[in-house]
Amino acid sequence: MIREGDRPTESTVLIEGFAGRYNVLRNGKRQITALHVPGDFTDLHSFLLKTMDHSVLAITPCTIGMVPHETLHDIFENHPHLARLLAVSLAVDAAIHRHWMVAVGRRSALEHAAHLLCALFVRLQVVGLTEGYRFRLPLTQAELGDTLGLSAVHVNRVVQDLRKENLITWRGEMVTIEDWPRLQQLADFDPTFLSLQNEPR
């Protein structure tokens, strides 16, 4: 969708499908730094920072909305309330990044994977893309490895552990959380950081 180094003139909102941001290192390793679900602004910051410091990947076919930077400019000039909401979206983005960092740096592979599933589930729930504890996760294990900072092989083993513990089932693209309290506990998951509370903004 967008490549590192680009200087887009419009920002994109994800309407349908899954997308992600990633960086590739010299040595070929890839780190996915964000997963986007419908409703997310995938590159609001391109309006503010001009040149992309990472690429954006359509994980599934996506339908997206394009918002010209001029429009964003206008929002900042003339619609302070909306501008504020855009800023909130940036701040939530950063908060998710921070919690992701904590997971990469200080959690075991198992806890980290559990944490990602928890966070993703809650975000999908908000936009109505869950059925009970079931949701679509169209990632290959290799891609999941790139988001968790693990090798594909190890992801496989971790996923099998989660299955053996009856915490999740995962067939094809569908994941079901079988024991939400226990998964949350394993992940040490606290949804506060997602800022989903209804707060006066």
Partner DNA sequence: CGTGTACTTGATCGTCTTCAAGAGCGGTGG
Partner DNA sequence: CCACCGCTCTTGAAGACGATCAAGTACACG
DSSP 39-71: T-BS-THHHHH-S-SSEEEESS--EEEEEEHHH
* Span 43-62, contacts to a second copy by CB under 8 A: 44-45, 48-51, 53-54
Residue 114 in the binding site for DNA (CB under 7 A): no
Residue 24 or residue 66: which is nearer to a second copy going by CB? Answer: 24
CA 14 to chain centre: 12
> Which one of DNA, a second copy, none interacts with residue 83, CB within 5 to 8 A by kind?
a second copy
Q: Which two tokens stand for residue 162?
A: 């989660």
DSSP category for residue 169: E
Residue 201 in the binding site for a second copy (CB under 8 A): yes
Number of residues that bind a second copy (CB under 8 A): 52
Q: Is the CB of residue 58 less than 8 Å from the CB of residue 17?
A: yes
Selection from 134, 128, 155 nearest residue 144 by Cα: 155
Q: Is the CB of residue 35 less than 8 Å from the CB of residue 57?
A: no
Residue 5 or residue 138: which is nearer to DNA going by CB? Answer: 138
Q: Which of 15, 66, 88, 142 binds a second copy (CB under 8 A)?
A: 88
Give the whole-angstrom CA distance, residue 192 versus residue 50: 31
Selection from 80, 77, 71 nearest residue 44 by Cα: 71
Q: Is the CB of residue 61 less than 8 Å from the CB of residue 7?
A: no
Q: Which of 19, 150, 167, 187 binds DNA (CB under 7 A)?
A: 150
Residue 171 in the binding site for a second copy (CB under 8 A): no
* Span 98-117, contacts to a second copy by CB under 8 A: 98-102, 104-107
Residues of the shown chain interacting with a second copy in the complex, contacts defined by CB under 8 A: 21, 23, 25-27, 29-31, 33-34, 44-45, 48-51, 53-54, 76-78, 80, 83-84, 86-88, 90-95, 97-102, 104-107, 148-149, 188, 192-193, 195, 197, 199, 201
**Where along the sequence are the contacts to DNA (CB under 7 A)?**
108-110, 140-142, 149-154, 156-157, 159-160
